[in-house]
Structure 1
Amino acid sequence: MAGDKQADGGHADGTVGKALDVLDMVASHGQPVRFSDLLDTAPYPKATLYRFLQTLTNQGMLAYDSDRGTYTMGMRLVRLAHAAWAQSSLAPIARPYITDLARQTGETVHLAQMDQGQVLYVDKCNAAKPVEMFSQAGKVGPAYCTGVGKAMLAFMSDSAMEAAFARQSFHRFTEQTLDTPDRLRAELVAIRARGYGFDREEHEPGIICCAAPILTRTGRVLGALSVTSTTARTSLEALEAEAGQVMACAARIAAEAENWRFPEQG
């Protein structure tokens, strides 16, 4: 759920926070969802949940299919998402650079930014022979076990890093997952020292990457990018040979983004 809950079951951000929670609930299903399905997991009484759904539908944030009795995300959200992509995302600036990097390396390139301690993938350029994997533009992933996530965490201020750490689940996805704060901290020190990091099959078996942060001249984290492949096609050593290109691409994106106004990361 978005935001922090109060002990009495309320929401620290009041009515707006609850409404956003309901939007998150509908979005998390990934398909049209019935009221009864939402009620099963909602922290709100039936009447309260129904009221929020009605208001969000009236405002165009949700759409209701009366024939099927289901809710989906509304077209107003689509318009807002396009505006956010253009105004707050690195994607419009970075697209030509990550396209060139994908062409040069022959591998998939991801572009990501940090959102409330989690990784938000904002763009992706597929390799000549794409590989099916979790990361797609618009998806949210864990920061502690992805290359782009660790690259961003490593260069955050101490306070931003601690806030992000508090939002990590440290669930063990694979045998390689860094599943404790201490293991992750040690990894971040190494990433900061060399300027880039890896995903060593930490989130998905067989998926590896080399990632670098996108930093302003003052060191503020704007995002990160990665060159991603599979263990069936290449190795970490081969991907590390691309680290110079990855960091150079990140620097070019940062230079062009320097005069833009992006939300503070983390």
Structure 2
Amino acid sequence: MGRVTGDGTVGKALEVLDQVADFGRPVRFSELLSQSPFPKPTLYRLVQALTNQQMLAFDPDRQTYAPGLRLVRLAHAAWEQSTLAPIARPHVEALSRAVDETVHLAQLDHAQVLYVDKRNAGQPVRMYSQAGKVGPAYCTGVGKVMLAFSDPDVIDAIIAQQSFHVFTPNTLTGPEELRAELADIRANGYGFDREEHEPGIICVAMPIRSETGRVLGALSVTSTTRRTNLAGLEGYVPILRDTVEKISTEAQNWSFPHYDRKETAGM
């Protein structure tokens, strides 16, 4: 983690929540302290305040902290009110049944991809993506198609924040390579993950857009190189497009969270 926000106490408290969540398991105070940008007294005050507010849960037997039940309530409200998932769910399920492959629904979370729903194939494949997880925008199918159809200033801001870490031999390694890929996606209307994030994992993805062309999210059909290939996934483009159009139509009255370049630049 290691970054200190400029948003005062609230920002610092959110940093601590992020840190606890990043461990992926109950964590001791000493572990938090070893990775925290805050001095011990400050971290202790923040942890105690979050525990008192039920944002963190403390296990006195194990002396560990974990995300609290209040966060679960807030997360559920956010899922219902700020994501496409409730609107898209029946269409995501129908698409997964029709193609018998894994389907992902995602939205842009500033410079990252947030997976908001996932439906597994009849024979699920172990992969990184899960609902609630975030992933890189530059090497995922859903990330690239959302980027491709975003406003130019948003594209510039998001590209500037990509790490371009090389996950596989197929990972895009820099801004120019990514921009060329985005141009191809705009020309075709859809894009691929060519084993760019995980070896053996491939997908075809398409953006979900409003009537005015604003990017609301993205949908992908994901498989493995053992089951199919990119040409096979491309055959799903017509049903993927039909599903995207249905979700877009139902989302017209949805109040989509505003996203602008200034917010992105402040991350």
Partner-residue secondary structure (3-state), 1:119: strand
Matched AA of 2:208: I
Q: Do the aligned partners of 1:113 and 1:265 also contact (CA within 8 Å) in 2? A: no
What is the alpha-carbon distance in structure 2 between the residues aligned to residue 178 and residue 48 of structure 1? 40
What is the alpha-carbon distance in structure 1 between the residues aligned to residue 97 and residue 11 of structure 2? 42
Instruction: Identify the match of residue 212 of structure 1 among 206, 212, 215.
Output: 206
1:14 aligns with 2:12: no
Which deviations, in whole Å up to 9, do the C-alpha atoms of 1:224-250 show, x marking residues without a partner? 010000000001001011112112211
Identical-pair percentage:
64
Shift of 1:127: 0.5
1:106 aligns with 2:100: yes
What is the alpha-carbon distance in structure 1 between the residues aligned to residue 156 and residue 44 of structure 2? 37
Which position in structure 1 is the counterpart of 2:263? none
What is the alpha-carbon distance in structure 2 between the residues aligned to residue 172 and residue 147 of structure 1? 16
What is the alpha-carbon distance in structure 2 between the residues aligned to residue 64 and residue 103 of structure 1? 41
Matched AA of 1:167: Q
Instruction: Identify the match of residue 32 of structure 1 among 22, 26, 34.
Output: 26
Instruction: Identify the match of residue 174 of structure 2 among 161, 180, 198.
Output: 180
Which position in structure 1 is the counterpart of 2:90? 96
Which position in structure 2 is the counterpart of 1:245? 239
User: What does 1:41-60 correspond to in 2, within 5 Å?
Assistant: 41-60=35-54
Shift of 1:265: 4.2
Partner-residue secondary structure (3-state), 1:33: coil
What is the alpha-carbon distance in structure 2 between the residues aligned to residue 136 and residue 265 of structure 1? 23
Partner-residue secondary structure (3-state), 1:114: strand
Q: TM-score, normalization: structure 1?
A: 0.95
Matched AA of 1:169: S
1:81 aligns with 2:75: yes
Shift of 1:166: 2.2
Which position in structure 2 is the counterpart of 1:117? 111
Partner-residue secondary structure (3-state), 1:95: helix
Unmatched 5+ stretches in structure 2: 261-267
Instruction: Identify the match of residue 161 of structure 1 among 143, 155, 159.
Output: 155
TM-align CA RMSD:
1.2
User: What does 1:217-236 correspond to in 2, within 5 Å?
Assistant: 217-236=211-230
Which deviations, in whole Å up to 9, do the C-alpha atoms of 1:9-49 show, x marking residues without a partner? x5321211111000000000000000000111100000000
**Aligned structure 1 segments of 4 or more residues deviating by more than 6 angstroms:** none
Unmatched 5+ stretches in structure 1: none
Partner-residue secondary structure (3-state), 2:243: helix
Matched AA of 1:195: G
Q: Do the aligned partners of 1:165 and 1:181 also contact (CA within 8 Å) in 2? A: yes
What is the alpha-carbon distance in structure 1 between the residues aligned to residue 226 and residue 200 of structure 2? 7
What is the alpha-carbon distance in structure 2 between the residues aligned to residue 150 and residue 248 of structure 1? 20
Partner-residue secondary structure (3-state), 2:208: strand
Q: TM-score, normalization: structure 2?
A: 0.95
What is the alpha-carbon distance in structure 1 between the residues aligned to residue 122 and residue 180 of structure 2? 35
> Relative to structure 2, which stretch is displaced further, 244-253 or 140-149?
244-253
What count of residue pairs does the alignment treat as equivalent?
260
Instruction: Identify the match of residue 65 of structure 1 among 56, 59, 65.
Output: 59
